[in-house]
Chains A and B, each alone.
Chain A
Amino acid sequence: MYVALLVLKNALRHKLRTILTVVGIVVAITAFGLLRTIVDAWYAGANASSSARLVTRNAVSLVFSMPLTYAQKIRQVPGVASVALANWFGGVYISERNFFPQFAISAPSYLEMYPEYMLSPEERKAFLTDRTGAIAGRKLAELYGWKIGDQIPLRGTIFPGTWTFTLRGIYDGADKGTDQSTFFFHWDYLNETIKKQFPRRGDQTGVFVVQLKDPQQAAEVSEAIDATFKNSLAETLTETEKAFQLGFVAMTEAILLAIQAVSFVVIVIIMAVMANTMAMTARERYGEYATLKALGFGNGFVALMIFGESLAIALVGGAAGIALTFPLARGFADAMGSLFPIFFVSEDTLLMQFAAAILIGVVAACIPAWKAARVRIVDGLRAVA
């Protein structure tokens, strides 16, 4: 109890110094949390993906498509429960700035495979029965203020012309990790329209999504699918949805590593700043530590005072930093639009921020506490005079 009192009063002795240190820690912990959240958001697609789904694409590149007839063959591969089509659309909504993913899907089968996209039965029915209908994630709809029944024009980049869809449903995510920023419409509509203009581009799709009967069989089924199309005009590459998503992330791996490195560097820097503050503070108090030791208090007590003060400052800064991460992350997500469809501060990030705060407090106190414990009483007392 006395230690707590001494720690608290000592921490408030140099108010400006303590405040500046706390501010530094707040900034560092917040920056750390935000950077980690950005990295998380990058991986979010992969983490949210199901291990019960495979993605089959053209082995050469995603840019190339595969004939529709493959669907039937894939369905016959043992272990496959169902197959759905998905095709990247890449349209522009009003301006290039408004980026969000758009897919043409084989609606009933695709939606059955993705129960995490939750749609009310009415909206689902309305979507399925409208050839030019579309559905959008809740976040996306909120971002652009879309309501059911709105006409949404997308200017095609891969597929020429302006495509106008009627919003028939707004889906919610089953949990926080579910992407709610995607726009889906009917693959049939895309296919029929394209076939009229460019017959050779018809009956093609970018990927097949394959539902497994048993997730354990992912490897065997993938091999079996790819074996089916070996030596055909369009060879396939099948991998789990997670591996497929990570393939996208891998392209930006270097940037992610840099962000992660920066997030740790920030912590190391504040650690050095904090250690300097604590060293300065302890040095000023050698006389007091010596007096306490003369009175019979042990080295442990003196060390405890220093650790206590350092930890108190670090934890106050840490707590404020953690609290500040939430509004900041939200602001960042809003500013980024739908670039990061899944953007939230994870529990792991919070734990790491907390751990970082404790680490800062402990590391900063180590050397001053060791020195203060080591200083001879008579030398410390001389410091008073």
Chain B
Amino acid sequence: MSDAISESRVDAAIDSVQPLVAIRSLSKYYTRGDQIIPVLLDIDLDVFPGDFVALMGPSGSGKSTLLNLIAGIDKPSSGELRIGGVDIVLLADVDLAAWRAANVGFIFQFYNLMPVLTAYQNIELPLMLTSLSRTERRERVEMALALVGLTDRQDHYPNELSGGQEQRVAIARALITDPLLIVADEPTGDLDRVTAAEILGLLDRLNRELGKTIIMVTHDPKAAEAAHRMIHLEKGVLVH
């Protein structure tokens, strides 16, 4: 995919193209006893196909909560949340799980790899929910391994890999099902500058070369620079 096309995708956000993520008056509260703790207040947000969005804000502002809602692993208290035209708020848990498997790639701050599986098996894991044959899975995993530059480490277990390598495995796992959307919660939060820059470079390639839409939560302004667009959250409210 050429740069020209992905640039034009971003520009197209202005009118013709439908947003991939459409959020309307989304709120999230927690209740503790009779006390109501608002976490997200009346959020409106559109993310367009091919976007690379950095979600920033102080600790406790609700970044992870918003990202989790978009990724379909948490439920809002009210509001609408359409992704690829599907209002995921209305999906039953079972359907939501299937929807996530098909449409969302996850990247976590602490990688969240299965310690008992090798790099190869970790990357293959999401494909177990598809009907792909063993050979098809192998082709895909080998491509993903090559993309993140870990072909020679495929038989290593997570505890035999560095943090940066683990995160690369996680990235390969996130894109193995070719999802619409990749969500990353502080993907460089546990890495040093140099390694962080490598990971950000990789995300940038996913966005530019594969056209993946990425929403990334980060504290780090340097990391945010990799994105095309920055969104700020302050105490549960979006400040543009």
Known contacts A294-B71, A294-B73: A287-B112 contact under CB 8 Å: yes
Known contacts A378-B73, A378-B74, A381-B112: A295-B94 contact under CB 8 Å: no
Chain A, interface size category, equals 20 to 34
Indicate if A158 sits at the interface (CB-CB under 8 A).
no
- A residues in contact with B146, CB < 8 Å: none
Closest CB-CB distance, B74 to chain A, in whole Å?
A: 5
B74 A377 Cβ-Cβ under 8 A = yes
- A residues in contact with B94, CB < 8 Å: 298
Indicate if A121 sits at the interface (CB-CB under 8 A).
no
Indicate if A6 sits at the interface (CB-CB under 8 A).
yes
A297 to B173, CA, bound (A): 14
- A residues in contact with B129, CB < 8 Å: 295-297
A376 to B71, CA, bound (A): 14
B101 A295 Cβ-Cβ under 8 A = yes
- B residues in contact with A5, CB < 8 Å: 117, 121
B116 A296 Cβ-Cβ under 8 A = no
Closest CB-CB distance, B154 to chain A, in whole Å?
A: 16
- A residues in contact with B10, CB < 8 Å: none
A296 B73 Cβ-Cβ under 8 A = no
- A residues in contact with B52, CB < 8 Å: none
Contact of A294 among B100, B102, B110, B115 (CB under 8 A): B100
Closest CB-CB distance, A64 to chain B, in whole Å?
A: 74
Contact with A along B51-85 (1 / 0, CB 8 A): 00000000000000100100101100000000000
Contact of A295 among B74, B100, B117 (CB under 8 A): B100
Indicate if B5 sits at the interface (CB-CB under 8 A).
no
Indicate if A291 sits at the interface (CB-CB under 8 A).
yes
Indicate if B128 sits at the interface (CB-CB under 8 A).
yes
Closest CB-CB distance, B123 to chain A, in whole Å?
A: 11
Indicate if A147 sits at the interface (CB-CB under 8 A).
no
A294 B106 Cβ-Cβ under 8 A = yes
B116 A10 Cβ-Cβ under 8 A = yes
A291 B97 Cβ-Cβ under 8 A = no
Contact of A9 among B101, B102, B110, B117 (CB under 8 A): B117
- A residues in contact with B121, CB < 8 Å: 5
A294 to B203, CA, bound (A): 20
A13 to B116, CA, bound (A): 8
Counting chain A CB atoms within 10 Å of each CB, which of B112, B121, B128, B129 scores highest? B112
Indicate if A384 sits at the interface (CB-CB under 8 A).
yes
Indicate if B126 sits at the interface (CB-CB under 8 A).
yes
Indicate if B90 sits at the interface (CB-CB under 8 A).
no
Contact of A384 among B68, B97, B112, B117 (CB under 8 A): B112
Indicate if B143 sits at the interface (CB-CB under 8 A).
no
Known contacts A6-B116, A377-B74: A295-B110 contact under CB 8 Å: no
Indicate if B108 sits at the interface (CB-CB under 8 A).
yes
A6 B68 Cβ-Cβ under 8 A = no
Instruction: For A379, give the chain B residue with the smallest CB separation.
Output: B74
Contact of B101 among A296, A377, A381 (CB under 8 A): A296
Indicate if A293 sits at the interface (CB-CB under 8 A).
yes
Known contacts A9-B117, A378-B73: A296-B112 contact under CB 8 Å: no
Closest CB-CB distance, A281 to chain B, in whole Å?
A: 12
A376 to B94, CA, bound (A): 14
Indicate if A385 sits at the interface (CB-CB under 8 A).
yes
B98 A296 Cβ-Cβ under 8 A = yes
Known contacts A294-B71, A296-B129: A381-B108 contact under CB 8 Å: yes
Instruction: For B73, give the chain A residue with the smallest CB separation.
Output: A377
B73 A385 Cβ-Cβ under 8 A = no
Closest CB-CB distance, A288 to chain B, in whole Å?
A: 6
Closest CB-CB distance, B171 to chain A, in whole Å?
A: 14
Indicate if A2 sits at the interface (CB-CB under 8 A).
yes
Closest CB-CB distance, B104 to chain A, in whole Å?
A: 8
Indicate if B195 sits at the interface (CB-CB under 8 A).
no
Instruction: For B128, give the chain A residue with the smallest CB separation.
Output: A2
Contact with B along A81-125 (1 / 0, CB 8 A): 000000000000000000000000000000000000000000000
- Known pairs A293-B97, A295-B100, A377-B74. 14 more at Cβ < 8 A? A9-B117, A288-B112, A288-B115, A291-B106, A291-B108, A291-B112, A291-B114, A294-B106, A295-B101, A296-B101, A296-B102, A296-B129, A377-B68, A384-B112
Query: Interface of A with B (CB < 8 Å)?
Result: 2, 5-6, 9-10, 13, 287-288, 291-298, 376-378, 381, 384-385
Query: Interface of B with A (CB < 8 Å)?
Result: 65, 68, 71, 73-74, 94, 97-98, 100-102, 106, 108-110, 112, 114-117, 121, 125-126, 128-129, 173
A–B complex contacts, Cβ < 8 Å, 15 sampled: A5-B121, A6-B114, A6-B116, A13-B115, A288-B112, A291-B114, A293-B73, A294-B71, A295-B126, A297-B129, A298-B94, A378-B73, A381-B108, A381-B112, A384-B110
